[in-house]
Amino acid sequence: MMASSYNAKEEDGHHSGPSSHGGAGAVKSKKPDNTAFKQQRLPAWQPILTAGTVLPAFFVIGLIFIPIGIGLYVTSNNIKEFEIDYTGVDVSSPCFSCAKNYSWDSTTSCTCSVNFTLEQPFESNVFMYYGLSNFYQNHRRYVKSRDDSQLNGDRSALTNPSKECEPYRTSEGQPIAPCGAIANSLFNDTLVLYHVDSNGTKISIPLAKKGIAWWTDKHVKFRNPGGNDNLTIAFQGTNKPVNWRKPVFELDPDDRDNNGFINEDFIVWMRTAALPTFRKLYRIIHKKSSSTPTLASGRYILDITYNYPVLSFDGRKRMILSTISWMGGKNPFLGIAYITVGSICFFLGVVLLIIHHKYDSRNSSADIPN
Amino acid sequence: MAVNFNEMLKGDERRVDSRTIYVGHRPCSASEPFIPPKFCDNRIVSSKYTVWNFLPKNLFEQFRRIANFYFLIIFLVQVIVDTPTSPVTSGLPLCFVITVTAIKQGYEDWLRHKADNEVNKYPVTVLENGLRLRKESEKIKVGDVLEVEEEETFPCDLILLRSSRDDDTCFVTTASLDGESNHKTHYTVPDIEKDLESLSATLECEQPQPDLYKSLGPENLLLKGATLKNTEKVCGVAIYTGMETKMALNYQGKSQKRSAVEKSINAFLLVYLCILLSKALVCTTLKYLWQSKPGQDEPWYNEKTQKVRDTNLYLKMFTDFLSFMVLFNFIIPVSMYVTVEMQKFLGSFFITWDKDFFDPEIKEGALVNTSDLNEELGQVEYVFTDKTGTLTQNNMEFIECCIDGFQYKHRDVNSEVDGFCVTDGPVNSLKEKAGREREELFLRALCLCHTVQVKESPEGFIASSPDEVALVKGAMRYGFTFLGLESKAMKILNRSHEIEVYDLLHVLNFDPVRRRMSVIVKCKSGDIVLFCKGADSSIFPRVRQEEVEPIRVHVERNAKEGYRTLCVAYKLLGTEEYARVDAALREARLALQGREEKLMAVYNEVETGMSLIGATAVEDRLQEEAAETMQALQGAGIKIWVLTGDKMETAKSTCFACRLFQMTTELLELTVRTLDEGGRKREERLHELLLEYHKKAVQDAPSVENSISGNWSVTSHEYGFIIDGATLSMVLNSTDSNSSHYRTLFLQICQNCTAVLCCRMAPLQKAQIVKLVKNSKGSPITLSIGDGANDVSMILEAHVGIGIKGKEGRQAVRNSDYAIPKLKHLKKLLLAHGHLYYVRIAHLVQYFFYKNLCFILPQFLYQFFCGHSQQPLYDAAYLTMYNICFTSMPILAYSLLEQHISIQALLSNAPLYREIRKNAMLRWRPFLYWTLLGVFHGLVFFFGVRCLFRNSALQDDGQVYGNWSYGTIVFTVLVFTVTLKLALDTRHWTWINHFVIWGSLAFYVLFSFFWGGIIWPFLRQQRMYFVFATMLSSLSAWLVIIVLIVLSLLPEILLAVFRKPFTPFTQQRNPVESNVGAVPSPLSSTRPLLMRTFTDESNTVI
């Protein structure tokens, strides 16, 4: 006796008159697809972290991390590191007069020598760093004050450096190459190391100045304009940075592959440090033979050509000698971190184990709702 | 001749200025100069933009949103001021957001244009100077005489002048206006010349008004959008065109509803904005303190340009502040808005796609009108449900009737009239049946007193209310068949298979206030009879009292059984009396002002002194699984209120049937009946009862707070509360000072009851109740569900409005936020979808804030090590990509797919719903937890790497790393930790989750290689060149990355172990503090307009 004529079409509210939009209604009344995705029934892995599953993980982490930590700590401790501050703040320090009397205009450079003694021999390759403190290489104004196109050998950037280089963009009407604050403040102390042997003679220690910059920087990122030949011509029409004594193409006149923008000291300096106290690789002392240590214990003399003023901003200069392991320089942090985290995990594992046991026995009878 | 037609609608005296229309553009008299009045044309413009103004207008609209505006400001600051990060970092995401939104809105507008065009270009027939011209719909002018054929829709609002039917009527359906599919009868303007060509008339009518639902226009007015039915053709004069038609005036967006989650987001945003501002302030202050030391501000190696030196100090401070703001602005990411929007938009598809919501009967699934409220579905505390059509099927079946106190029960379809008497029924137990005469009178009344129309097939009836169809069909079973209405004559086939003809003189329409309807017919014998049927409460006072008692017994018994009862009465009208009534009715109908009041008065006057014949009982069957659904919802801690216009007994029986009330439930009744019991003044009794119930339900009962934390199922005593409309209005509108006191008492009682039944509710009262609860203490989330036009007000009022695609038209569906075919779908919608959506979006929001906090915190800390110079820690590419690419997809996938508890478990375990109530995952406590986690991670990332960089020689060749390596290591740890943190939180790993989580990490690594692998020609600085690759060549970097990730995730893993499975934050929660300090959302109306399908558009716009 179904008589009332409610029909779906009219209910739909779309009038069957000619102005109704055919098609749309048909699509709408379609039954939803019965796909796993649309019905939210995709097969799924449903992990639940419980004491039971996490416990082994904690033990495993603890058992892996603690040995690694110990390894790291031992490695770090085996690294020999020697550090000496030669800023010359104290009256007693040899570089005091240099630090005090220094001025940019002086044509003659000030030199001073620092004596020190290595208690233990440095066996493997020794890396010589200079360290600066309270030097904000990561200051924003400083970090951006460079022109990477110019450093990449771009000719137009050479003659027309980026605006970012201001106020070290031009001098005497000519563009500065390399422009910018970073290049302008290139570290220009010269450090020379002598070993004083038992009979008091100074033996100069050969310092390698290659291999201190990132390979990619040296070979790709930094390029001289127009190749490495005839840098004098290539840099014609540009001026040296105001604080520099000599133009960029005289940074290392002896070695064509280490001159101009691809001078490694320059490249190292151009990689701005992360923190205001930093070290930068200066030279490498390669191990000569397997029998003798690279640097034997004994007295050494560090000859410094003191050019770089730091006292005006209360900075410090250091010279660091360090051996290197697979993990880099001396840094006990990683070892300690691993040991700590490993121990925490292990400790938590034990605690969890205890809790797990209690929890299990307690809940065997009383069930948790849900 | 002038036809004065005035369309008056109640309460609009303000807009009495009328318009004069010259029918056919012919002047009334030759002497008057004809000045064609200016009206708007018939073009419908629902589109917002044109090709020309799209860009500026759309951009303007978009930047009016606070969030967009904020990001625009940040972008402009970056462009103007010398800021640490390039404008690209914030410009690109903003551009992306703006573009996507513009494309979306453009597409929607294009759809609207298309729909508009379809309507505007639709050909219509215009009668002009005796010619029939085909015109495009948009060219119709006010005053044009139009011809409309059957099944056509009216192109504008018309006054019916001529109909092809003999009785000067026509039938229309207004399905596309209000969804009611019944045929409505409209009449031509009386006393009009048949020759329309020569008709010269003026029409006076009101200025256009939007009031559509009040009454669908007076009976001469044909509304645009309605469809002509059963009538060959009609002619009418256009009175309102284009944007002035009722339909266009009614086309307006619904008010934007905001979800609780959104309020939380805004509150959190405010916190983060404060963090951002304080960070910037701290940095600026420290910068100038630091600089004041000699040699720090401008050391010889790092001089300022002359221009900077000359800048005013305060200006510098200000720009520095802005720069810090820009540097840290990533803490409030644009992408969060995009992701939240996407999550809501895409997430809502799961509702539409759910095949459990598909109803084979109407061949439709669920409909999502607003995806903004998905998560609100998981927060519902109060459900307000309509009874008829929602709890019950609204599929009426005639069960029995009672005539003069004798019960007639239909037992078999084939049997003849088969009344049988039940023992408790009749007063006069000697007779088994009422007299044959009375029987036939009763059945004739059933056959005549209705507005049912007969469709082609003899048994097809069309009516606005299914009760009427049930009654007519019921009468048919007893031998009286209604054959139809032809030119005001109703034909009935009686038991002896003779055709009786009655002249239909007047129909006194049904309205919810009177709760009855009447017809006045003239029999063949010349007698004029008024038949009236209506609710018992409205009939009993109007009949002779001695007749009431025997019927009342039946009515009450039937009501208790859950049947809908109607009483039938009649009255003989003498010729004189009729003449008076007729005149009064005609006068009232043509009244210019206060028409409805006048009609009502006449109706009330006529419908008195009737004699009661009998009553009918119609069964309204419960919806499928109505009881199960209600139980599940109650189990979920949701309080259910039934708001119905039905009488108390019927509603109560439905409530029992739905198991809302149980046998053990103690019912607290606050109705007119209980108020009258004491024999004292109602007000006093009300006061007394309220206090008594309050004592019972509130003071003596264990507090709600206890029952939340305690075990729910063992609530000692359950109360049900019943109130009726009259009492409710006493409670709400009582004049004395007690009013607010009553309200609180009432609310407190209700809040402690498991179920509340409000019967005899007017639609507006329903909304009032919803509003009352909505604004009560703790501002609970309310949900209204209903299927009819009378539920619209409460659907619009509640936080979430659900429409049932029932039989009472589409109005509820159209005004709802979600529409489902059946009530039973509500269970899954709330318990499964709502729960999941809430958990998903809550996690999404918390995670987003967390990941940006630990993203920006190292950047902030770095300022202490770089002289507060706004040096960014990360490369610009990382800053930009972090939120867009590296960490956005996993959380989006999570927020779409996560099922921390399977849908099955959620459905079968309703109490799980309680665990997320009161915005549990977005309260300040979890927020604090996430914030602390973010801070902890940020500290670990930064200082871990900081310790490593005490010696920046990290490779075995002694070479050193710079600041960009530092940032890259921090960033790598960050990306991995944040992604793995999400992985830890993911309980439902589909292949998509695997794909996006591992894919994001792989993408980060690949991108970093790629980004650092090339000297980018367009970049001024090659700071990232080979930084990532070199970092990977260092064993120390690997080791530090691993240990920092493990250390960061350690507390998370630990907590996950201690946390009970399934219960994220239930252990303790603070019930008082919620969304303190919520700000008006910067997220303005981005209702996913794409959700509106084409059909929807056509419904509302044409």
Which CATH number goes with the domain that contains B563?
A: 3.40.1110.10
**Cβ neighbours of B872 in A, within 8 Å:** 140
- Where does a domain end: A304, A324, A344? A324
B735 in the same domain as B601: no
pLDDT score of B326 = 84
Cα distance between residue B734 and residue B618, in whole Å: 36
B903 in the same domain as B960: yes
Q: Which residue among B386, B404, B536, B620 is the active-site one? A: B386
Residue with tokens 């000519």: A174
In a domain, B89, yes or no: no
Condensed to tens digits (0 to 9), the pLDDT of residues B470-527 reads: 888 888 877 788 877 777 788 888 777 888 888 888 888 777 667 788 888 888 888 8
A235 in the same domain as A181: yes
Instruction: Round the average pLDDT of chain B to a whole number and report it.
Output: 76
Of B300, B959, B992, the CB nearest to A309: B300
The answer to whether B853 touches B393, Cβ cutoff 8 Å, is no
In a domain, B281, yes or no: no
CA trace torsion B902, B905, B906, B907 (10° rounding): 120
Cα distance between residue B387 and residue B381, in whole Å: 19
Q: Chain B: nearest CA to A339, how far in angstroms?
A: 10
Amino acid occupying residue B866: C
In the predicted structure, residue B367 carries a pLDDT above the cut 90: no
A367 touches chain B (CB under 8 A): no
In a domain, B74, yes or no: no
Q: What DSSP character marks residue B960?
A: B
In a domain, A287, yes or no: yes
Cα distance between residue B874 and residue B108, in whole Å: 39
- Where does a domain end: B591, B621, B651? B621
B849 in the same domain as B793: no
Q: Chain B: nearest CA to A277, how far in angstroms?
A: 8
In a domain, A5, yes or no: no
pLDDT score of B74 = 83
B841 in the same domain as B809: no
B236 in the same domain as B162: yes
In a domain, A46, yes or no: no
**Beta-carbon count within 10 A of B403 CB:** 27
Top-ranked range on mean pLDDT: pick from B90-104, B899-913, B982-996: B982-996
When comparing pLDDT for B795 and B433, which is higher?
Answer: B795
Whether residues B460 and A273 touch (CB distance < 8 A) is answered with no
A334 in the same domain as A288: no
Q: What DSSP character marks residue B155?
A: S
Please give the average per-residue pLDDT across B935-953, as a whole number. 91
CATH code for the domain of B241 = 2.70.150.10
List alpha helices for chain A, DSSP H.
Answer: 8-11, 24-28, 51-78, 96-101, 140-143, 148-151, 155-159, 181-184, 215-216, 231-234, 264-270, 332-363
Cα distance between residue B134 and residue B155, in whole Å: 13
Both tokens of residue B29?
């008299």
A216 in the same domain as A107: yes
In a domain, B385, yes or no: yes
Both tokens of residue B809?
């038209």
Closest chain B residue to A275 measured between Cα atoms? Answer: B865
- Closest among B688, B682, B769, B785 to B734, alpha carbons compared: B682
Entry pTM: 0.76
Condensed to tens digits (0 to 9), the pLDDT of residues B793-849 reads: 788 788 888 888 866 566 677 777 888 888 888 888 888 888 888 888 889 888 988
Strand ranges, E, within A104-197? 110-118, 126-133, 170-171, 174-175, 190-196
3 state SS of B684: helix
User: How many structural domains are present in chain B?
Assistant: 4
What distances in angstroms separate CA B968 from CA B60, B87, B804, B852, one per listed residue?
39, 21, 55, 16
B1037 in the same domain as B946: yes
Please give the average per-residue pLDDT across B224-250, as a whole number. 75
When comparing pLDDT for B1098 and B790, which is higher?
Answer: B790
Of all residues in chain A, the percent with pLDDT exceeding 70 is: 86
In a domain, A42, yes or no: no
Strands B782-786 and B382-385, sheet pairing: parallel
In the predicted structure, residue B1083 carries a pLDDT above the cut 80: no
3 state SS of A369: coil
Whether residues B958 and A279 touch (CB distance < 8 A) is answered with no
The answer to whether B1100 touches B247, Cβ cutoff 8 Å, is no
Angle B1080-B1086-B1088 from CA coordinates, rounded to 5°: 140
φ/ψ of A84, rounded to 5, equals: -140, 130
Q: B307: annotated binding-site residue? A: no
B651 in the same domain as B791: yes
A186 in the same domain as A255: yes
Q: Using CB atoms and an 8 Å cut-off, which of residues 1016-1075 of chain B contact chain A? A: 1019-1023, 1025-1026, 1029-1030, 1034-1036, 1039-1040, 1043, 1046-1047, 1050, 1053-1054, 1056-1057, 1060-1063
The answer to whether B125 touches B145, Cβ cutoff 8 Å, is no
In a domain, A48, yes or no: no
Q: To which H or E segment does residue B994 belong?
A: helix B991-1013
A198 in the same domain as A72: no
**Beta-carbon count within 10 A of A235 CB:** 22
Please give the average per-residue pLDDT across B549-560, as a whole number. 78
In the predicted structure, residue B434 carries a pLDDT above the cut 90: no
Closest chain A residue to B940 measured between Cα atoms? Answer: A337
pLDDT score of B483 = 79
3 state SS of A348: helix
The answer to whether A24 touches B1094, Cβ cutoff 8 Å, is yes
In the predicted structure, residue A183 carries a pLDDT above the cut 70: yes
C-alpha count within 13 angstroms, C-beta hemisphere, residue B644: 26
Q: B646: annotated binding-site residue? A: yes
Q: B855: annotated binding-site residue? A: no
Domain that holds residue A63: 53-79+330-357
B666 in the same domain as B563: no
Condensed to tens digits (0 to 9), the pLDDT of residues B666-720 reads: 777 777 777 766 666 777 777 777 777 777 777 665 544 444 433 444 445 678 8
Domain that holds residue B793: 367-390+624-697+718-820
Q: Using CB atoms and an 8 Å cut-off, which of residues 271-330 of chain A contact chain B? A: 271-276, 278-281, 284, 309, 312-314, 322, 324-330
Please give the average per-residue pLDDT across B617-632, as a whole number. 79
User: How many structural domains are present in chain A?
Assistant: 2
Cα distance between residue B964 and residue B900, in whole Å: 39
A85 in the same domain as A63: no
B969 in the same domain as B838: yes
The residues that bridge with B506 in the sheet, in sequence order, are B520
**Beta-carbon count within 10 A of B11 CB:** 10
In a domain, A22, yes or no: no
Cα distance between residue B632 and residue A10, in whole Å: 33
Banded pLDDT at B206 (limits 50, 70, 90) = low
In a domain, A60, yes or no: yes
Of A17, A51, A278, the CB nearest to B952: A278
Whether residues A148 and B1040 touch (CB distance < 8 A) is answered with no
Whether residues B958 and A127 touch (CB distance < 8 A) is answered with yes
Q: Chain A: nearest CA to B608, how far in angstroms?
A: 32
A74 in the same domain as A86: no
Closest chain A residue to B323 measured between Cα atoms? Answer: A140
**Beta-carbon count within 10 A of A279 CB:** 23
B911 in the same domain as B806: no
Long-range Cβ contact pairs of B348-354 (< 8 A, separation 24 or more):
B348/B374, B348/B1088, B348/B1091, B349/A38, B350/A38, B350/A40, B350/B833, B350/B896, B351/B818, B351/B829, B351/B833, B352/A32, B353/A32, B353/A33, B353/A38, B353/A39, B354/A32, B354/A38, B354/A39, B354/A40, B354/B828, B354/B833
Whether residues B1099 and A13 touch (CB distance < 8 A) is answered with yes
Q: Chain B: nearest CA to A155, how far in angstroms?
A: 14
Both tokens of residue A279?
């070290």
pLDDT score of B10 = 36
Our separate counts of H helices and E strands in chain B read 37, 31
Cα maximum dimension of chain B: 123
Condensed to tens digits (0 to 9), the pLDDT of residues A206-238 reads: 998 888 888 888 888 888 887 777 888 888 888
Cα distance between residue B380 and residue B914, in whole Å: 10
Q: Which residues of A301-320 are buried (b: 16+ CB within 10 A; e: fewer)?
A: bbebebbbbbeebbbbbbbb
Please give the average per-residue pLDDT across A61-75, as a whole number. 92
Condensed to tens digits (0 to 9), the pLDDT of residues A121-137 reads: 888 889 999 999 989 89
Banded pLDDT at B1093 (limits 50, 70, 90) = very low
Whether residues A50 and B1060 touch (CB distance < 8 A) is answered with no
Establish whether B310 is a catalytic residue.
Answer: no
pLDDT score of B943 = 92
Whether residues A141 and B1063 touch (CB distance < 8 A) is answered with no
B670 in the same domain as B582: no
pLDDT score of A21 = 37
Q: B99: annotated binding-site residue? A: no
Banded pLDDT at A338 (limits 50, 70, 90) = very high
Banded pLDDT at B602 (limits 50, 70, 90) = confident
**Beta-carbon count within 10 A of A159 CB:** 15
Cα distance between residue B627 and residue B649, in whole Å: 18
B664 in the same domain as B581: no
In a domain, A14, yes or no: no
- Closest among B908, B892, B841, B901 to A48, alpha carbons compared: B901
Edge-to-edge, what's the strand order for the sheet holding A316-323?
A81-85, A316-323, A126-133, A278-285
User: Residue A8 contacts by C-beta under 8 Å, 6 or more apart in sequence?
Assistant: A29, B362, B363
pLDDT score of B1079 = 35
Of all residues in chain B, the percent with pLDDT exceeding 90 is: 7
Of A4, A279, A341, the CB nearest to B1046: A341
Could you give the ipTM of this predicted complex? 0.89
A255 in the same domain as A169: yes
List alpha helices for B590-710, DSSP H.
Answer: 595-606, 626-635, 648-657, 672-677, 682-694, 704-709
A254 in the same domain as A241: yes
**Cβ neighbours of B908 in A, within 8 Å:** none
pLDDT score of B1042 = 92
